[in-house]
Amino acid sequence: MPSNDTRKSVAVVGSLNFDLVCVLDRLPGLGETLTARSHVTAFGGKGANQAVAAARLGASVRMIGAVGSDSTGEAMRRNLEDNGVDASGLLVAEGPSGVAMISIDANGDNTIVVYPGANAALGPDWVRANARAIEDGDCLMLQLETPLESALEAARIAGRAGVPVLLNPAPARALPDELLRLCSAVTPNETELAILSGVPGIEDGARALLAKGVGAVVVTLGSAGCLYVDEVGTFTVPSYRIDAVDATAAGDSFNGALATRLGSGRVTPEDLAFCNAAGAIAATRLGAQPSIPTISEVDQFMALRRP
């Protein structure tokens, strides 16, 4: 039966973590023990965060990933469902779910250590078994916290079905040209861009990725906004001034927002202003998924604020 759902349909292949967060005055040095000001736990993982972001920003979202056979895995599944994400593409892998230990300093900057747990069990076979979720979507969203072969397999499926692929190359690593060729857009920060392209300089790095077949590069620049580069040209979109509390999931909110805007046409400055606003709001709140805004929060923020 044809669906009346006019929302953008996004498939996410990626990670789910349980985040243990400590808020500190400053980050510890090597061998140093510090006492945290406060501590929270939150659902996280780049894949799950981006799935929740796209859902809160109005998309219909399906998640393909892996959780552990522990109670955290079941809680992760319920959490996705509570956020309106279709979690039927979650594999239950024997063993623990993924965890992340996150330290936040007084500027809202963070360091993150991830133990992949079940995320490491997300293989290309499981992605193939869930190919329909990708083929039926308007966009496939990928990150690099799960095995690379799975991301590549998902991108191949999307490529054959003509579905645009959005890759957030985090955590950064060198990537096969085949994966880059399959990407409609990639969204590195400056550090990730340097690792990915091997070329110094933001615009030169972005152009090196275009030369490898990426459709468009959106370089996230933190408080400076973002830079868009494709074969047609380049533009910068400034961000919003905020008092940052925690940068965790700001990038994921940006990416989730972009997945709701990516289509056959070129991404516009207005689209990227929307993404910047989603990321800026997330940075004003503590925790990964608790910080991700809804579409009405972004609309309200943009109506009241100027970059």
Which residues are catalytically annotated? 252
Q: Applying CB under 6 A, does 248 fall inside the site for ligand RIB?
A: yes
Q: Which residues of 48-60 are buried (b: 16+ CB within 10 A; e: fewer)?
A: bbbbbbbbbbebb
**Positions 273 through 292 that interact with ligand RIB (CB under 6 A):** 288
249 φ, ψ (degrees, to nearest 5): 75, 5
**Positions 58 through 97 that interact with ligand RIB (CB under 6 A):** none
The type of residue at 15 is S
Q: Is residue 146 a contact partner of residue 66, using CB atoms and an 8 Å limit?
A: yes
Q: Applying CB under 6 A, does 192 fall inside the site for ligand RIB?
A: no
Q: How far apart are CA 116 and CA 67, in angstroms?
A: 10
Q: Applying CB under 6 A, does 46 fall inside the site for ligand RIB?
A: yes
If the CB atoms of residues 247 and 273 are measured against ligand RIB, the closer one turns out to be: 247
Q: Is residue 226 a contact partner of residue 216, using CB atoms and an 8 Å limit?
A: no
Q: For residue 19, which of 97, 136, 122, 107 has the smallest C-alpha distance?
A: 97
If the CB atoms of residues 131 and 187 are measured against ligand RIB, the closer one turns out to be: 187
Stretch that binds ligand RIB, among 6-14, 85-93, 236-244, 245-253 (CB under 6 A): 245-253
Q: Applying CB under 6 A, does 114 fall inside the site for ligand RIB?
A: yes
Q: At what angle do helices 46-56 and 250-261 cross, to 10 degrees?
A: 50
Q: At what angle do helices 250-261 and 269-283 cross, to 10 degrees?
A: 150
If the CB atoms of residues 44 and 73 are measured against ligand RIB, the closer one turns out to be: 44
For residues 148 to 187, the per-residue mask of contacts with ligand RIB, x marking binding by CB under 6 A and - elsewhere, is ----------------------------------------
Kindly state the tokens that stand for 81: 């469902």
CA distances from 203 to 43, 172, 206, 234 (A): 35, 18, 5, 9
If the CB atoms of residues 103 and 207 are measured against ligand RIB, the closer one turns out to be: 103
If the CB atoms of residues 168 and 197 are measured against ligand RIB, the closer one turns out to be: 168
For residues 13 to 32, the per-residue mask of contacts with ligand RIB, x marking binding by CB under 6 A and - elsewhere, is --x-x-x-------------
Q: Applying CB under 6 A, does 252 fall inside the site for ligand RIB?
A: yes
The residues binding ligand RIB (CB under 6 A) are: 15, 17, 19, 44-46, 49, 100, 112, 114, 145, 248-249, 251-252, 288
